[in-house]
Structures are given as structure tokens and as C-alpha cells.
Amino acid sequence: MASEQTVVVYGAYGHTGRFVVARLRERGFVPVLSGRDAGRLKELAAETGLEDRPAAVDDPAALDRALAGAAAVINCAGPFATTAAPVIEAALRAGVPYVDVAAEIEANADTFAHFAERARAEQAVIVPAMAFYGGLGDLLVTAAMGDWSAADEAHVAYGLSGWHPTAGTRAAGVVSRERRDGRRVRYANGRLEYRDDAPPTLEWTFPEPVGPRTVIGEFSMADVVTVPSHLPIPEVRTYMTVEAARDIADPGTPAPAATDELGRSAQTFLVEVVVRSGGEERRAVASGQDIYAVTAPLAVEAVDRILTGRTRTAGVASAGEIFDAPDFLRALSPHVSVDLPR
């Protein structure tokens, strides 16, 4: 089925977009390259032999042409505060599913707030944050929950060996900080809270081979939007190893550099999720290499499942709500190794 289906990749020439294009081709889809920079699109089209369709986000007619005849669209172009709404609107006009890889907390919250009712009414499928941040954590939390209908707390701890950010990550970070007026954000007491104080620092004992590490507590990522969107958990906390937090904060940290034939960097990750209900606790773990590269199998697996009808709902939905979380996570092998509750 995939061999006959065209998927538009908006922001195809970006770091993550290139991984997504490659993964789509591996899975038998036909990617169409789109984005705002016509010159970079032409270069990528010449390199890959694929069709390019430039489209600015403020040009609805161009976006409509970009999505013409497509089965779905994957938005890889940040800052998503700028791109998400226009590309979603184009997807709704075209009647095709929309998936993005946004890590921006505010942009993801906007997608749920602005499009949930309309997408549900039209039985459209919109999946934001289908990426390492937001999607993977949500799938792990959902899988760890198992037969629990609710929990008291969810903790998502990111054990990154380091974090060399892309230009897109830095640009998105600037937008998010501006929208927050420089404050930090956390999810507590059943809502997003914006705070001016410094986040706590604590120790987290990751499974081997990572082991005990110092982490920044309340280092909030997109999980604080995706998880509460469908799971009744009033406290959702995320944590980041201090080495990675320092890398992302340092303007001198270079962009990721390829170290293998797949274009992946040497960065490794281990994500541990802990959910607690009463006196009980459940855990789930995922590990792999390169947070940007691993976003591609996440997004492409999502598109494949949407197009083959392996979904549980319609409207705006996070990964854990719309997909069978344990099955989805196991399907990510060999890109991600998982250890789930049995």
C-alpha cells in the first residue's frame, strides 16, 4: 500500500526533515519535498531525484498545491509556532492527515486548543509532537500505565549523553522563551504553571549502562502537553541530564555531526518513565542513538498506522491516545530498544 502513497514533508531540507525523507523511502512511500526555501528544496530535489513543491506558510494557495494528491503531510519545519497552524489548515482543506515533530510546548498546546473541536467534527487526524520529545515519552507513559485508568504522577527522565542542537532547535527555543517571557514551565496540579524560580537539581538512577546521574528537575519538554491531553495525571515531570542541559544552553555548542552511514550523530539516549498510583509504581524504558534521527521512524510509523487504519480515535490526538502504545514502541525496533511492563 505504501508504495502507491505520496507523503509531503514540509521542511524536508532541515536536519530532521532529511531523516524523515530517507525513512519514508525505506518504508515504500513517495516523499514530496516542500518548505519555505525554494533554493534548498531544489538542491535536495537534485540530490534525491524527488519532486519539490515550495510553499510559504503565508501563502495558502501554494500550500494547497504542495499537498495536492498527497496521502498525508509531515511537518518538520520549526519554529512550529509559525508553521503548525498554516500547514494544519492546508491539511484540513486537502482532507489528509497531519503529523508534526514539534517539541515546542506552547505550539503543541495551541494545536490542541485551536483545532481539537474542528478536527473531531471533520473526523480529521492531527498528531502533534510525533517525535523524540512529546511522542516517545507519551507512548512510554501510556504503555507503563497498562490497565490503570489514572495515576498520581508521571516522571519522564532523559538520560542524554549530550545535546548538540540543530539550528531549528535553537530557533524554536528562542520563540518559546519569548512566549514565556523568559519563565520556565512545568505541569503540576493538573495545569501548566509558569515560574520564575530556578528548577531543582537532583540525582536520578537510570538503568545501566547510564546509571546514577545528576539531572535538572522540571526541565519541561513536550510531554507536559501530550501526556495530560489524554491521561488523568495531575503531576507530569520531565528531567534532563545536566550535561545535555548545559549543551543546549551554551550558544557555542556545535550542531550534530554525522558519525555513521545513516547520518546519525554519536549521541546516545536512555529515557526512563515512572508512573505512580497510590503505593504502586510502574516503569518503561527506551534507548537508542541520536534524538533527531530517531524522530523519523516515530513520525513515519505514525503515518503508516494512520493510513492503514490502525488508530483508536480521530481529531487532535497525541501518540499514546491514537495508537496502541506497546505495539507501536515494539515496532520501532531496531531504531529504539524498549523494556516495557509485562
Q: Which residues contact 187 (CB under 8 A, 6 or more apart)?
A: 193, 220, 224, 225, 227, 228, 235, 236, 237
The domain 132-290 having CATH identifier 3.40.50.300: the answer here is no
Mean pLDDT across the chain: 96
Burial state string for 73-105 with b = 16 or more CB within 10 A and e = fewer than 16: bbbbbbbbbbbbbbbbbbbbebebbbbbbbbbb
Predicted confidence (pLDDT) at residue 291 exceeds the cutoff of 60: yes
Predicted confidence (pLDDT) at residue 3 exceeds the cutoff of 80: no
Report pLDDT for 122: 97
Instruction: Give the confidence band of 2 by pLDDT, cuts at 50, 70, 90.
Output: low
Q: How far is CA 318 from the centre of its chain?
A: 10
Domain borders along the chain are 2-131+295-326, 132-290
Report pLDDT for 342: 75
- The CATH number of 2-131+295-326 is 3.40.50.720
Write the pLDDT tens digit of every residue in 64-93: 999 999 999 999 999 999 999 999 999 999
Predicted confidence (pLDDT) at residue 1 exceeds the cutoff of 60: no
144 membership: H or E segment, kind and range: helix 137-145
Q: Which residues contact 15 (CB under 8 A, 6 or more apart)?
A: 166, 167, 168, 255, 256, 292
Share of the chain above pLDDT 70, in %: 99
107, 84 contact by CB (below 8 A): yes
> Mean of the pLDDT values across residues 184-207?
96
Name the CA radius of gyration of the chain, rounded: 19
Report pLDDT for 296: 98
0.95 cut: is pTM over it? yes
Write the pLDDT tens digit of every residue in 250-262: 999 999 999 999 9
> Mean of the pLDDT values across residues 121-149?
98
Write the pLDDT tens digit of every residue in 88-133: 999 999 999 999 999 999 999 999 999 999 999 999 999 999 999 9
What does residue 157 show for φ and ψ, rounded to 5 degrees? Answer: -105, 125
